[in-house]
Copies of this chain bind each other. A is one copy, B any other.
Amino acid sequence: MTEVTDRISRRQVDKFAERRSQLATSALRTLSELGYARTSLREIAQNSEFSHGVLHYYFRDKVELITHCVRQYKAECVTRYDEIVVTATTAEGLRADFAEALATTCREDASMHRLWYDLRNQALFEESFRKDVLEIDQTLELMIWRVVTTYADLAGKPLAVTPSTAYGLLDGLFTQALLRHLAGVPGATEELSAAAHQTLPKLLQP
């Protein structure tokens, strides 16, 4: 008896979660295209296969929807450069691969990243976003830290910066390149690659 209802309710819960995720994906697509300020629930619904009312069936309000989107987005980011870390055999190889991967991400995932920066900025104003944003930021910092520590190990030199400094520095390069790339400045992503390539060794002790 309880087994059956459990199975049912679990299936329903799964379906519920699945649809939430599906709607969040539509929302992320819309948000990355329009930005937080110009994205409405009706617009999100129009970019999905449902009507606008359904959003309030799966999400309490707009904040919960956006929050769910942010959490879902996070899952994509975490492992972005892990393969590079795992397959790296030399410091020089890792350095080149990472620099190139940054540039590629900036080129091909520009819309998603401008959304991340947009939401991170909303957290500067709206308190309700801060917890999730800081959590993602921490995850990204750890992701960069995995790259940097592996690089240091392979180079056989100790690191000269803290995790947050390493992340802040590289994130600054990325932000700048993203702006220029989206503004149509030629060579923006190549310069990002070069700058990252140039910066990595500076994080090590001389």
Contacts and interface: CB of A to CB of B under 8 A. Distances in A.
A114 B118 contact: no
Interface of A: 34-38, 114, 117-118, 120-126, 130, 133-134, 137, 160-162, 164-165, 167-173, 175-180, 182-183, 191, 195, 198-199, 202-203, 206
B168 A35 contact: no
Copies in the complex: 2
A34 B37 CA distance: 12
Contacts of A183: 123, 130, 134
A91 to B, nearest CB: 17
A126 B168 contact: no
A121 B203 CA distance: 28
Contact of A175 (B125, B172, B203, B206): B172
